[in-house]
Amino acid sequence: MPAPATTPIVREHAGVLVVRDDLFPGSTKARFMHHVFEDADEAVYASPAEGGAQAALATVARQLGKRATIFVAQRARPHARTLEAARLGAKIVPVAPGYLSVVQARARDYCSRTGAALVPFGVDMPEAVVAIAKAAKAIGIMPDEVWCAAGSGVLARGLAMAWPTARRHVVQVGRALTPAEVAGAMIHIYPAPFGREARIKPPFPSDPHYDAKAWEQCAARKGPGRVLFWNVAAPARA
């Protein structure tokens, strides 16, 4: 199954080179999500309510003529990211109680019954790391310093593969990360839980639960030289 071939778009904002994957259909995760459909017609993801993988999975499923099923915590009103995935054709399965561990267990059970492919949390797959590294190298830029948000650490590992000699920084926006999960990057812990939005809006469309938090830290702490920031996704459309 062929991978997306579009080279990332880079724009300068506030003196920082920003990879604008908010302009890539489905965002960064859509660069490698096709791998989950290689041996399956249906792929299933257990998602936090605000998780960006929902739209990425739905986008790629639609492109390939496959089925996307998303298990997510039941809410009085679904999060905009979930509504976005539903508009793209994903089947949404609300789960109560909505603890992520329960959502993940329900998704696993569904896959066991139906034979659908279960997408790893954060789409943490070797193919994802390689795809990110390939996209990063295609930009043709050698940054001195690199910043990104980190949930599972997949993006950080891909950027480390592309630019191993750069000063690399990640902003932890969810669960605690180990140095190995981010390929030895310096970890900055965002002082608010994943469900809370960033305190500032970047000068470009950015997910307030994810990339915007990393931009906030990058803007305050970036070092000298050529600094690059990887923006994964735009805010969800309600």
133-188 pLDDT, tens digit each: 999 999 999 999 999 999 999 999 999 999 999 999 999 998 899 999 999 999 99
Tokens 């990640």: give the residue.
170
Dihedrals phi, psi of 187, to nearest 5 degrees: -100, 125
Answer yes or no: is 236 within a domain: no
pLDDT in the model for residue 237: 79
pLDDT at 20 > cutoff 80: yes
Q: Are residues 138 and 209 in the same domain?
A: yes
Which amino acid is it at 221?
R
By residue range, what is the domain housing residue 64?
Answer: 33-121
Q: How far apart are CA 229 and CA 13, in angstroms?
A: 10
Q: Are residues 174 and 188 in the same domain?
A: yes
The domain boundary residue, chosen from 86, 121, 156: 121
Q: How far apart are CA 207 and CA 122, in angstroms?
A: 15
The domain boundary residue, chosen from 98, 121, 144: 121
pLDDT in the model for residue 195: 87
CB atoms within 10 A of CB 14: 14
Mean pLDDT, the chain, whole residue set: 95
List, as own/partner pairs, every contact residues 184-191 make where C-beta atoms lie below 8 angstroms and the sequence separation is at least 24, other chains included: 184/160, 185/150, 185/156, 185/160, 187/150, 188/217, 188/221, 190/214, 190/216, 190/217
Classify residue 35 by its DSSP letter.
Answer: G
79-88 pLDDT, tens digit each: 999 999 999 9
Answer yes or no: is 206 within a domain: yes
68-77 pLDDT, tens digit each: 999 999 999 9
Q: How far apart are CA 30 and CA 178, in angstroms?
A: 25
The domain boundary residue, chosen from 75, 100, 121: 121
Q: Are residues 72 and 185 in the same domain?
A: no
Q: Are residues 40 and 157 in the same domain?
A: no
Percent share of the chain, pLDDT over 70: 97
Predicted TM-score (pTM) of the model is: 0.93
Indicate the SS3 state at residue 125. Answer: coil
Q: Are residues 177 and 153 in the same domain?
A: yes
Report residue 147 as tokens.
């910043």
Report residue 37 as tokens.
């459909």
Total domains in the fold of the chain? 2
Q: What is the CATH number of the domain that holds 184?
A: 3.40.50.1100
- Going from the C-alpha of 84 to that of each of 26, 47, 106, 111, 199, the distances in angstroms are 10, 13, 22, 23, 23
pLDDT at 1 > cutoff 80: no
Helix H or strand E segment including 19: strand 16-20
Given pLDDT bands bounded at 50, 70 and 90, which one contains residue 4?
low
Answer yes or no: is 149 within a domain: yes
Tokens 């180990």: give the residue.
178
| Residue 229: partners with Cβ closer than 8 Å, 6 or more residues away | 16, 17, 18, 19, 146, 147, 148, 214, 215, 218
CB atoms within 10 A of CB 140: 8
